[in-house]
Amino acid sequence: MAAIKCPHCGGLMYETLTECPHCRGPVDPQKVIEEARQQEIEAKQKEIKDKDDEILDKINNIYNNEKRNVEDRKVARAEYEASLDMEIKNVSKKSKKVANDKKSIPIIIGIFVLAFVVAWVWAIGVEVKNQLIANGYLVMHLKQAWGMFQF
């Protein structure tokens, strides 16, 4: 024997009784059993619906997170491509600078050669002057030149 609830007072009673022992109200046990089963079915359906809603919420959260991740990856890729473009521009500027540096190398070599030649000519001039002084020619020419400027 199973216990059922009285539809009038809610008290518990056996399913074989046709009248509630608490309130003396008439009870159709079959109807009460059917209503209880119907309530159980509705409760199970509500529980299933709640679980379905919970699963759908999780699926929507996963979808939205993946959507955000895809957008974040797109932004990151755009930033990476922009940084690559900047790096390419920097490399281009550096290569132009290297090209300009390559152009300046012959100029620098020319300056060193010119400085060497000037130093060599100066050294030869000093040597020639020393030889002229040693032979006495320079002193004589300087005295003659100084005499031209006296008044």
**pLDDT tens readout for residues 5-47:** 888 888 888 878 888 888 888 888 788 888 888 999 999 999 9
Encoded tokens for 139: 């002193």
- Domain ranges (residues) in the chain: 3-137
pLDDT at 56: 94
- Over pLDDT 90: what percentage of the chain? 34
Cα atoms found within 13 Å of the Cα of residue 93, Cβ hemisphere only: 5
Structure tokens at 73: 């990856």
Dig out the tokens for 105 from the structure: 């190398």
From its phi and psi, is residue 4 left (phi > 0), alpha (psi between -120 and 50) or beta? Answer: beta
